[in-house]
Structure 1
């Protein structure tokens, strides 16, 4: 029975009630039944091209098991698992594992695919960081693939290009040396099983043959290209970006097949020539010539000197679980500081999604982020008081500042002892290696600049340098800027437990802490922990430059629609300025590891807020 006939056959009382809720449905009861005129078709609530279909009174369907708000179950397998921001990248990782590749091989192959599939968050013009569970060492190790500022760009020149005291977000002034490709090479030298060239075969094929553009990625490609081409954007030239992502004069729509033959050629050079093809070969020469042409500062010497660094991550114990954070020049310590402060409160008895629990978490974030803005920087250039800032005694003192019936105002950094749009993915393999990896061009697609014929955009990470005298993150040639991208990892009793991450600028420590709290304090499984409604606080009295201006002393709190109305109302009554939900709640992937007797079991979860998926086998 056709739907029109079905509705027309309903009793009058029922059809009347439908029309009263949605008057447009009444059209379906009229029209010329003989001719089948077009007015007999049901109207669409979301016409083609509309970005969203919002009905606040409609919620997810019912599940018979697990959390009621979870979007799906976690994927499970014994041999390996992967979660990325694009289904094809996830599938590539699984196929790489099945071909005998290690988790690191699979992560590199997936990341190469994401540089084509998800250019709004990643690419070989950016940086990356990784934390790896090494079963042979029985510990978590970390790799920082962060690029340095151009050696020819002086502080004086940087200040001359500043706007409102901060570096601009777009153009050559914000470009730092890309570190991602060198990090891939470094990871492969230590953990790779397949040949280097094999890892690029899937991405080359995809870039040449083309794939349909998914919903979220297509939305952000359009937004980025609009920003780059806006008058006064500061981008020295946009013809190359438009040639790459709008070859027919317009950005791709959802479902349009997109190709990037320039990137495919670049990948072929890298597959054949390894790291040096990029950093000291034909690609480096093209980059050098391009920046000379547009009046930029990045040179082949900067590229040649780029090298990723191995290290030990920071760690804190949260209610018996060891949670790890990147050190180096990242905000990884902020996750640990936030959790250390929150641990002083009984969040479980406060209640899941309660106003008290969320209030405490926000205040812990605000206190941690004051220290983030005051102390975090490249440790090669500044002495960072990691041990003090990550200590339980310091967290207890900071926790005493939090009041359950009022908002802390003003909020300041602690007094440490004196001393001189991102993509996340995770892969695990049959041997027990787990990699938590995050890769980014910083804001959206990056600086707006694409070197001639290379098919990828350069990051704009340099925007996050400070220009303030005496600040540990002050700009200097050859220095790594403060980084927002951080992978996450957690272990239990000396065994790997979760490889996870939450993408999204300043949301990352906030999101990571919410995942850990959802899992440990509220007992949610890895999928429900990610699907749970999130909060996002923007604005601190001190900022690393990524916060919007004019947010007031307490900043802006944004809540997802799923947060209970009673909680929202209580937080407003407490005095939290409430901003509209803007989608800036991060995107999450996770793999959980456990042993079932002698069997290794992986559970993989993905983000319902994006285009990706998780798979296991």
Structure 2
């Protein structure tokens, strides 16, 4: 009876249209920061920069200065999409022979690579790659920013000085990785009580417990006052490289100084009279594009909403696209991996859009903190296959292959949207389905985000939302092996998306309905 009652529960997030700009983020506090920038006359890119740095403070296990990712922009006046690629790179001094295979089965984390001795590619300073988030934000700001860099980082500095407010959800997330965090004294000091237990205030207490992020605040202040290159050159870079090398990693000052984010032409995917723009290269974009093209060729909407035929077509399109990805691009992440990324979207009053995904890769990255900077370090080296001779094998000074898939699009009737998600390989299917819900089925943003989804991400099987109609689940099962799962807060069987939409001069946003922190905030809220 309890099980049936759970299935009957309904969770909703309301979407309200406004003439003002909107930020949709996995953490409401970061969305508020971005919305305040829009209210002060900032461009969508200004809001994206402020939101990005704020997220690194209030959702530190997902992103931050040590993250990598991509931004897809839509410029309303020019009716043009652009991409900023700020993916991570491996250090120049990295030696593949320093990551010998252990012969003990598979890796302990996201990817089922052959295991490496001591999990050196997963855990600790040996797993740290050259980050790109600061350079990516800087590149977009240089071209489109209206507000001063220092002004945009000031809210993140203030948030770090206050420290992240610990609550039940932060405690849940931290507890899931407490054992690994306890292995690094600096990570344990920041996130754990007594070096063992997740920080979590007493449930009856009225006093708030906060993380000590004062060192992070000092670092952010240096980057705010010195400009973005102050992260890659000078005292911050010196301290960061020194800390990483002291803990056994090889990332150097030279690696940081040499890093550059890049402008790129988006992949343009015509779809049902509209267009969707995705990041190219070593991202989820090419796989997304293949799946969306296959969906258009393999299915014609009935006009009655996503029915069994629609879901089967989406499952088959995703399955074929992932087979190509796994065979040719070398990405073999476990489809059951936990979400470990953050995504947010912005639309401003003028209709400019930003879709931004940034990640440390694993949740809490390498589970190592740089004591001199207060930065939680990524584990981007895990993106590489440690086995030699593969398309994505580990090598020095090499761009990583990632799953993030931010997109912008225009529907056939002229609505503009930006979408993306966290959730590893689950991202691609979520973004494709949301795009199809908006374009194929003419859904509102609220309808699209509440519509049940499926996940097909490389295993040759379907995970279907348990709230889908029985006839849809039966049709999926007839086409492919199918199991059902609930849409829950933790762990996540499906991706965690965020998006914004502009319709006839009115803007709106929404986030994953089961995300307890996620929300869309309007500048006039």
CA displacement at 1:521 relative to structure 2:
2.3
Q: Taking structure 2 as the reference length, what is the TM-score of the superposition?
A: 0.86
Structure-1 residue corresponding to 2:463: 558
1:373 is aligned to 2:326: yes
Q: Alpha-carbon deviations, 1:363-415, whole Å to 9, x = none?
A: 2112101221233389xxxxxxxxxxxxxxxxxxxxxxxxxxxxxxxxxxxxx
TM-superposed CA distance for 1:285, in Å, is 1.1
| 2:250 is the counterpart of 1:297 | yes
Q: What SS does the aligned partner of 1:454 have?
A: coil
1:613 counterpart = 2:522: no
Q: SS where residue 296 of structure 1 aligns?
A: coil
Across the two proteins, how many residue pairs are aligned to each other?
A: 491
Aligned to 2:395: 476
2:4 & 2:241 partners in 1: Cα distance?
A: 47
For 1:493 and 1:361, how far apart are their aligned partners in 2? 20
Where does 1:192-231 land on structure 2 (aligned, <5 Å)? Answer: 192-229=145-182
Identify if the C-alpha distance between structure 1 residues 352 and 221 changes in structure 2 by more than 3 Å, giving closer, same or farther. farther
Aligned-pair CA distance for 1:158 = 3.2
Contact 1:330 1:377 in 2 (8 A): no
Supply the distance in 1 between the matched residues of 2:380 and 2:305 (Cα, whole angstroms). 36
1:146 Cα deviation (Å)? 1.2
Extract unaligned runs of 5+ from structure 1. Answer: 1-20, 23-52, 62-70, 230-236, 379-420, 541-553
More moved, 321-330 vs 205-214: 205-214
Change in 2 beyond 3 A, CA 1:494/1:59? closer
Query: Distance in 1 between the 2:476 and 2:494 partners?
Result: 18
How far apart, in 2, do the equivalents of 1:525 and 1:286 lie? Answer: 48
State the partner residue of 2:498.
589
Change (3 A) 1:491 1:217: farther
Equivalent of residue 20 in structure 2, options 54, 79, 92: 79
Equivalent pair of 2:63/2:358 in contact (CA under 8 Å): yes
Residue of structure 2 equivalent to 1:103: 44
What is the rounded CA distance, in whole Å, between the counterparts of 1:76 and 1:516 in structure 2?
19
- Which of 240, 248, 251 is residue 287 of structure 1 equivalent to? 240
| Distance (whole Å) between structure 2 residues aligned to residue 242 and residue 564 of structure 1 | 46
Match of 1:448 in 2: 367
1:239 is aligned, of 185, 199, 203, to 185
Q: Tell me if the contact between 2:466 and 2:484 (Cα under 8 Å) persists in the aligned partners.
A: no
Aligned CA distance change for structure 1 residues 161 and 463 (closer, same or farther; 3 Å): farther
Q: Displacement of 1:84 after TM fit?
A: 0.7
Quote the Cα distance in structure 2 between the aligned partners of 1:561 and 1:371: 28
**Residues in 2 aligned to 1:377 and 1:573: alpha-carbon distance in whole angstroms:** 29
Q: Deviations over 1:423-479 (max 9, x none)?
A: 111112233321111111112121111111322212122212134555332222101
Q: Residues 234-275 of structure 1: CA distance to partner in whole angstroms, max 9, x if unpaired?
A: xxx511111112256432337853232121111111111122
Kept in 2, the 8 Å contact 1:279–1:304? The answer is yes
The residue correspondences of 1:154-553 to structure 2 (distance < 5 A) are 154-160=95-101, 164=106, 165=114, 168-229=121-182, 237-246=183-192, 249=195, 250-253=197-200, 256-259=208-211, 260-346=213-299, 348-349=301-302, 352=305, 354-376=307-329, 421-492=340-411, 497-540=416-459
Corresponding position of 1:38: none
Alpha-carbon spacing, 1:212–1:537, altered in 2? closer, same or farther (3 Å): same
- Secondary structure, aligned partner of 1:75: coil
Higher Cα radius of gyration: 1
Q: Is 2:278–2:408's contact at 8 Å kept on the other side of the alignment?
A: yes
Matched, 1:152 2:93: yes
SS in structure 2 at match of 1:307: coil
Shift of 1:493: 6.5
Retained in 2: the 8 A contact 1:497–1:592? yes
Q: Deviations over 1:462-499 (max 9, x none)?
A: 21213455533222210111011121110246967101
Equivalent residues of 1:178, 1:458 under 8 A apart? no
Residue aligned with 2:69, SS: strand
Cα 1:158–1:197, aligned 2, differ >3 Å: closer, same or farther? same
- Is contact 2:312-2:475 (8 Å) kept? no
Q: CA deviation at 1:58?
A: 2.4
The answer to whether the Cα contact below 8 Å between 2:362 and 2:379 also exists between their aligned partners in 1 is yes
Residues 488-512 of structure 1 show CA distances to partners (whole Å, capped at 9, x for unaligned) of: 1102469671011122110111001
Q: 1:579/1:608 Cα in 2 relative to 1: closer, same or farther (>3 Å)?
A: closer
SS of the residue corresponding to residue 489 of structure 1 reads strand
* C-alpha distance in structure 2 between counterparts of 1:159 and 1:359, whole Å: 42
Report if the CA contact (8 A) 1:519-1:525 is conserved. Answer: yes
2: distance between equivalents of 1:473 and 1:467? 9
Q: Distance in 1 between matches of 2:46 and 2:278?
A: 23
Q: Residues 200-222 of structure 1, C-alpha deviation per residue, up to 9 Å, x if partnerless?
A: 22122222224534554442122
The whole-number CA distance in structure 2 between the counterparts of 1:350 and 1:84 is 31
Give SS of 1:348's match: coil
Shift of 1:276: 2.5
Question: Partners of 1:461 and 1:347 in 2: how far apart?
Answer: 40
The CA distance in 2 between the partners of 1:353 and 1:433, in whole Å, is 29
1:423–1:438 contact (8 Å) kept in structure 2:
yes
Greater shift in the superposed pair: 176-185 or 210-219: 210-219
Q: Contact 1:93–1:106 (CA<8 Å) still a contact in 2?
A: yes
Between 1:83-92 and 1:354-363, the stretch displaced more is 354-363
Seen in structure 2, the aligned counterparts of structure 1 residues 364 and 216 have a Cα distance that, compared at 3 Å, is farther
2-structure distance, mates of 1:270, 1:576? 50
Please state how far the C-alpha of 1:357 moved relative to its aligned partner. 2.8
- CA distance in 2: counterparts of 1:584 and 1:483, whole angstroms: 19
- Cα gap change, 1:486 to 1:570, in 2 (>3 Å): closer
Deviation by residue 1:152-194 (Cα, 9 ceiling, x = unmatched): 1123323457864366432233321011011112222111111
1:458, 1:54 → 2: CA distance? 42
Sort the Cα spacing of 1:54 and 1:119 in 2 relative to 1 into closer, same or farther, 3 A: farther
